[in-house]
Structure 1
Amino acid sequence: MIIPTRNRLIHGYLGIDHDTLRSIIQDDIPERVRVLKDANQRLKRAPCPRYVNGRLPES
């Protein structure tokens, strides 16, 4: 959904349906933000073992 929406906005394919755009802004984007925040929190709790204090160890 994100890529087709981006393409329609950037390239103006067939004009922009304002109701669809409003729906995306009100419904889809907040849900994506929640999913990304949740994933970020899970990564913070269980970081990649290769990283030490958020950085790759010195070689």
Structure 2
Amino acid sequence: MTCPICQKETDPKYRPFCSKRCADVDLGRWLNGSYAIPAVEEDLPDEADTGHPTQRPN
């Protein structure tokens, strides 16, 4: 298995990465949103569409 950041051989101590540096690069990408998965939010029907009130949390 190779490091997903730099493609070097992995180190068991930092697996799946080869070093702390590459692990930190990956963490930084997660924290700044580089790995975000695009999603489409569905519109919930409101009262007028169904005739029934929508349940809302207290």
**The TM-score by the shorter chain falls in which range?**
0.3 to 0.5
Structure in which a larger fraction of residues adopt helix: 1
Structure whose alpha-carbon radius of gyration is higher: 2
Higher RCO (CA-CA < 8 Å; seq separation 6+): 2
Q: What is the TM-score when the length of structure 1 is the normalising length?
A: 0.33
